[in-house]
Amino acid sequence: MEKREKLYEGKAKIVYATDNPDLVIQYFKDDATAFNAAKKGTVDEKGIMNNKISGRIFEFLQSQGLPTHFEKTLSEREMLIKKVQIVPVEVIIRNRAAGSLSRLLGIPEGTQLKSTVLEFCYKRDDLGDPLINDSHIKALGLATEEEVKAIKELTLKVNELLSKFFLKLNLELIDFKLEFGRYKGKIILADEISPDTCRLWEVGTGKKLDKDRFRHDLGNIKEAYQEVMQRVTA
Ligand code: ADP
Ligand code: MG
């Protein structure tokens, strides 16, 4: 397998072509952004930690029968993945209120929700990734009804599996964001799952072990990611 040209550089990762048209390499950077890139910075070795964490989580989900883009870890910062056509919709699951949901609905951070909330955001940096619903997705032709159904089912399954997975590591999965793609006619889980894309609170202490440490300048960002990495890879 040979690394070829850069295909796309995003805020946290770079995607490279390979000599296999079905596979690409995802390279994890140390760059961090928040609030639609209004806040920018870097976290030393974040890319290394997220590559490890995301790899381990995708391996786990794959072992539980979930279709994902993960092929294998190639190096400290690189992962080989199936090349998908990304559905331009971010899927968010919320088990407790935090972040934008707390702001949107005036619910204090940490409020336990009576049932799981599933949100969609249109993946459009220029619009600030606005909140949308199923009918917007259909009206804009972002995904078919069948695809939306598959995405919802997979997302709820990920929540079930990962909530338990993290609880065993003494971490509570507060919320997370997923991206899906089309691969050979099927919807599979893509992108990354890491402290950049999940809120993880330590059980008992409520200590935040995720990107909120960067968003709100809580300090010890690297240590928080290290802690998650150690638990996930133990
Ligand atoms: P962004 O700033 O757009 O969020 P990232 O820094 O997260 O970008 O880089 C990853 C990019 O690659 C994202 O646009 C993501 O949607 C896309 N991507 C993730 N997984 C795959 C995949 N399996 N195939 C192709 N593109 C992918
Ligand atoms: Mg991204």
Quote the DSSP letter at residue 208.
B
Residue 100 is predicted with a pLDDT of 97
DSSP E strand stretches across the chain: 3-9, 13-18, 23-28, 31-34, 39-42, 70-73, 78-82, 85-96, 112-122, 131-132, 171-183, 186-190, 198-202
Residue 122: predicted pLDDT: 98
Q: Tell me, what's the pLDDT at 173?
A: 98
Residue 34 in contact with ligand 1 by CB distance below 6 A = no
Distance (Å) from CA 193 to ligand 1 centroid = 12
Handedness of CA 160, 177, 203, 48 (dihedral sign): positive
Ligand 1 pocket test: pick from 11, 13, 77, 91 the residue with the most ligand atoms within 8 Å of its Cβ.
Answer: 13
pLDDT for res 182: 98
pLDDT in tens, 52-106: 999 999 999 999 999 999 999 999 999 999 999 999 999 999 999 999 999 999 9
Determine the 3-state secondary structure of 22 from DSSP. coil
Pocket flag, ligand 1, residue 17 (CB < 6 Å): no
Q: What is the pLDDT of residue 98?
A: 98
| Dist CA 69 CA 13 (whole Å) | 15
- The helix (H) or strand (E) run that includes residue 223 is helix 221-233
User: Which parts of the chain sit beneath pLDDT 70?
Assistant: none
**Per-residue pLDDT, 174:** 98
Q: Which atom of ligand 1 is nearest to the CA of 29?
A: 6
Strand pairing report for 171-183 and 198-202: antiparallel
DSSP string, 131-157: EE-HHHHHHHTSS-HHHHHHHHHHHHH
Question: What is the pLDDT, as a whole number, of residue 7?
Answer: 98
147, 187 contact by CB (below 8 A):
yes
Residue to substitute in 90, 122, 142, 191 for testing ligand 1 pocket (most ligand atoms within 8 angstroms of CB): 191
Residue 47 Cβ inside 6 Å of ligand 1? The answer reads no
The CB of 69 under 6 Å from ligand 1? The reply is yes
81 lines ligand 1 (CB under 6 A): yes
Instruction: Evaluate whether 162 touches 57 at the Cβ level (below 8 Å).
Output: yes
